[in-house]
Structure 1
């Protein structure tokens, strides 16, 4: 069956990024723990889906996404200075730790702590893979029409379409 909108796709992938001239495996989804998603529901990077459209169960794939098509270029300005009072006497985070943050509109995102001063914590709000070309390889394990419930919820319910409890 071909991948089309309103279909649930299960696939494996290996994601590589260039680090100092060699490709490093960043994350994977295996046959035991595949990535399962409702195609066309806006959960995945649009260009990721575009590269998969028209593939069928059993197909293998390999493609690259430029930084622009993936998580965007690295933005030097996307750094926030959080007042130390924000942590209300809780432990001040360590450099390198990732903080769940929320903006005034309620959008959630993550920031990585890049430095800690006496009165503030500096957080980098760029996606960890911003500015990087992504290289995906994998295969399509399964494609099936989404159930009415999945369509109304806007996401897949596991490989066979049912919630595991």
Structure 2
């Protein structure tokens, strides 16, 4: 069986910054492999292109430039938000919630869900970074296709979102 649209692909990989020798970003091993429905925009398009047509057991090694991955960092994605936005039912947000390093789910323009990283907490506002954590970083993947299977009807009807 080959990697193609509507197949579930199961892979392991090492993700590093820029090259195989770059700083390790993520390891996905056989104990908890990554699986996704191929051809349904669940991963970066260039990632899918690199795996299209290969078979189980295929070992891969490829890079993705930042502009082809999660884009360059955008200065305008770092915003200052009044602390009152974080109030819940009139109660001020807890100090535990508003801590540097916390990632909070927010709602952006046109009700689009987005995650924001708190990078600074001021007396009356919070500075958040809405860039993707991998924005501005060249990526390098090394791994193996450990399984390919037919998608279930549920997976196909939900675009593979489990």
TM-score (norm 1): 0.87
Structure 1 gap segments, 5+ residues each: 158-165
Q: For residue 78 of structure 1, what is the aligned residue in structure 2?
A: 77
1:51-90 correspondence to structure 2 within 5 Å: 51-88=50-87, 89-90=92-93
Q: Secondary structure in 1 aligned to 2:66?
A: coil
Per-residue CA distance 1:77-111 (angstroms, 9 max, x = gap) = 11111101122212241122211111242211111
How many residues end up aligned between the 2 structures? 155
| Displaced runs of 4 or more, over 6 A | none
CA separation in 2, counterparts of 1:77 and 1:90? Answer: 25
CA separation in 1, counterparts of 2:132 and 2:30? Answer: 27
Which one is further off, 42-51 or 101-110?
A: 101-110
CA separation in 2, counterparts of 1:156 and 1:145? Answer: 15
Task: Compute the RMSD of aligned alpha carbons.
Answer: 1.7
- 8 Å contact kept, 1:9–1:140: yes
- 8 Å contact kept, 1:36–1:156: no
Structure 2 gap segments, 5+ residues each: none
Q: For residue 131 of structure 1, what is the aligned residue in structure 2?
A: 136
